Protein backbone atom coordinates (compact mmCIF):
# COMPACT_ATOMS: atom_id res chain seq x y z
CA UNK A 1 0.00 0.00 0.00
CA UNK A 2 2.84 2.34 0.81
CA UNK A 3 3.79 3.20 -2.75
CA UNK A 4 0.21 3.09 -4.09
CA UNK A 5 -1.18 5.37 -1.41
CA UNK A 6 1.72 7.79 -1.58
CA UNK A 7 1.49 7.90 -5.38
CA UNK A 8 -2.22 8.71 -5.19
CA UNK A 9 -1.56 11.22 -2.39
CA UNK A 10 1.16 13.06 -4.40
CA UNK A 11 -1.05 13.22 -7.48
CA UNK A 12 -4.05 14.44 -5.45
CA UNK A 13 -1.99 17.14 -3.72
CA UNK A 14 -0.79 18.44 -7.11
CA UNK A 15 -4.22 18.38 -8.75
CA UNK A 16 -6.38 19.53 -5.87
CA UNK A 17 -7.71 23.06 -5.99
CA UNK A 18 -8.96 23.19 -2.45
CA UNK A 19 -8.33 21.44 0.83
CA UNK A 20 -11.85 20.04 1.19
CA UNK A 21 -11.65 18.36 -2.21
CA UNK A 22 -8.24 16.94 -1.33
CA UNK A 23 -9.46 15.69 2.04
CA UNK A 24 -12.53 13.99 0.54
CA UNK A 25 -10.52 12.33 -2.21
CA UNK A 26 -7.88 11.01 0.16
CA UNK A 27 -10.44 9.84 2.73
CA UNK A 28 -12.21 7.78 0.07
CA UNK A 29 -8.94 6.29 -1.17
CA UNK A 30 -7.84 5.38 2.36
CA UNK A 31 -11.15 3.56 2.91
CA UNK A 32 -10.55 1.45 -0.18
CA UNK A 33 -6.95 0.64 0.64
CA UNK A 34 -7.11 0.15 4.43
CA UNK A 35 -10.47 -1.57 4.61
CA UNK A 36 -11.47 -3.02 7.95
CA UNK A 37 -14.72 -2.48 9.81
CA UNK A 38 -16.91 0.48 8.93
CA UNK A 39 -15.40 3.61 10.42
CA UNK A 40 -11.93 2.13 11.03
CA UNK A 41 -10.21 3.75 8.04
CA UNK A 42 -12.08 7.01 8.67
CA UNK A 43 -10.71 7.22 12.19
CA UNK A 44 -7.18 6.54 10.96
CA UNK A 45 -7.62 9.18 8.30
CA UNK A 46 -8.97 11.65 10.86
CA UNK A 47 -5.94 11.09 13.10
CA UNK A 48 -3.27 11.34 10.42
CA UNK A 49 -4.55 13.49 7.56
CA UNK A 50 -7.90 15.21 8.16
CA UNK A 51 -6.37 18.37 9.63
CA UNK A 52 -3.38 18.43 7.30
CA UNK A 53 -4.11 16.54 4.05
CA UNK A 54 -0.99 17.91 2.35
CA UNK A 55 1.42 16.76 5.09
CA UNK A 56 3.90 14.25 3.59
CA UNK A 57 4.89 12.69 6.91
CA UNK A 58 1.26 12.19 7.93
CA UNK A 59 0.55 10.61 4.53
CA UNK A 60 3.48 8.25 4.99
CA UNK A 61 2.21 7.24 8.43
CA UNK A 62 -1.22 6.43 7.02
CA UNK A 63 0.32 4.59 4.08
CA UNK A 64 2.05 2.12 6.41
CA UNK A 65 -1.13 0.95 8.19
CA UNK A 66 -1.83 -1.88 5.69
CA UNK A 67 1.73 -3.13 6.22
CA UNK A 68 0.95 -3.33 9.94
CA UNK A 69 -2.29 -5.16 9.28
CA UNK A 70 -0.53 -7.64 6.99
CA UNK A 71 2.19 -8.31 9.54
CA UNK A 72 4.98 -6.81 7.48
CA UNK A 73 7.28 -5.76 10.28
CA UNK A 74 9.74 -3.30 8.93
CA UNK A 75 12.17 -0.82 10.37
CA UNK A 76 10.06 2.16 9.33
CA UNK A 77 7.94 2.22 12.48
CA UNK A 78 10.08 4.94 14.09
CA UNK A 79 8.08 7.51 12.15
CA UNK A 80 5.21 7.09 14.66
CA UNK A 81 5.10 9.13 17.86
CA UNK A 82 4.14 7.68 21.26
CA UNK A 83 0.76 9.39 20.80
CA UNK A 84 0.30 7.63 17.44
CA UNK A 85 0.97 4.25 19.08
CA UNK A 86 -1.51 5.02 21.86
CA UNK A 87 -4.13 6.00 19.30
CA UNK A 88 -3.52 2.79 17.36
CA UNK A 89 -3.83 0.76 20.56
CA UNK A 90 -7.12 2.42 21.48
CA UNK A 91 -8.52 2.26 17.96
CA UNK A 92 -7.72 -1.42 17.44
CA UNK A 93 -8.99 -2.22 20.91
CA UNK A 94 -12.27 -0.49 20.05
CA UNK A 95 -12.68 -2.36 16.75
CA UNK A 96 -11.11 -5.69 17.78
CA UNK A 97 -14.35 -7.68 17.80
CA UNK A 98 -15.06 -6.63 14.21
CA UNK A 99 -11.52 -7.11 12.91
CA UNK A 100 -9.64 -10.14 11.68
CA UNK A 101 -7.73 -11.47 14.70
CA UNK A 102 -4.50 -11.69 12.70
CA UNK A 103 -4.78 -7.94 12.01
CA UNK A 104 -5.42 -7.22 15.68
CA UNK A 105 -2.47 -9.37 16.72
CA UNK A 106 -0.14 -7.79 14.17
CA UNK A 107 -0.88 -4.23 15.23
CA UNK A 108 -0.96 -4.96 18.95
CA UNK A 109 2.39 -6.71 18.71
CA UNK A 110 3.85 -3.53 17.26
CA UNK A 111 2.09 -1.37 19.85
CA UNK A 112 3.58 -3.45 22.67
CA UNK A 113 7.04 -3.41 21.05
CA UNK A 114 6.85 0.36 20.70
CA UNK A 115 5.69 1.03 24.26
CA UNK A 116 2.05 1.79 23.54
CA UNK A 117 1.06 0.16 26.82
CA UNK A 118 2.24 1.94 29.98
pLDDT of residue 16: 85
CB atoms within 10 A of CB 83: 10
Alpha-carbon span 53 to 45, nearest angstrom: 9
**Claim: this prediction has a pTM higher than 0.75:** yes
In the prediction, which pLDDT does 3 show?
Answer: 67
Q: What is the pLDDT of residue 42?
A: 97
Quote the pLDDT of residue 77. 84
97 within 8 A of 37, measured Cβ to Cβ: no
pLDDT at residue 116, as a whole number: 60
State how far the Cα of 56 lies from the Cα of 72, in Å rounded to an integer.
21
- Identify the segments of the chain with pLDDT beneath 50: 1
Amino acid sequence: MDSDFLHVWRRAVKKSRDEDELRDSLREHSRRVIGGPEGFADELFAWFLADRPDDAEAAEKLSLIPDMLDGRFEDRWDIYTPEDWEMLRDLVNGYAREMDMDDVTNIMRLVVDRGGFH
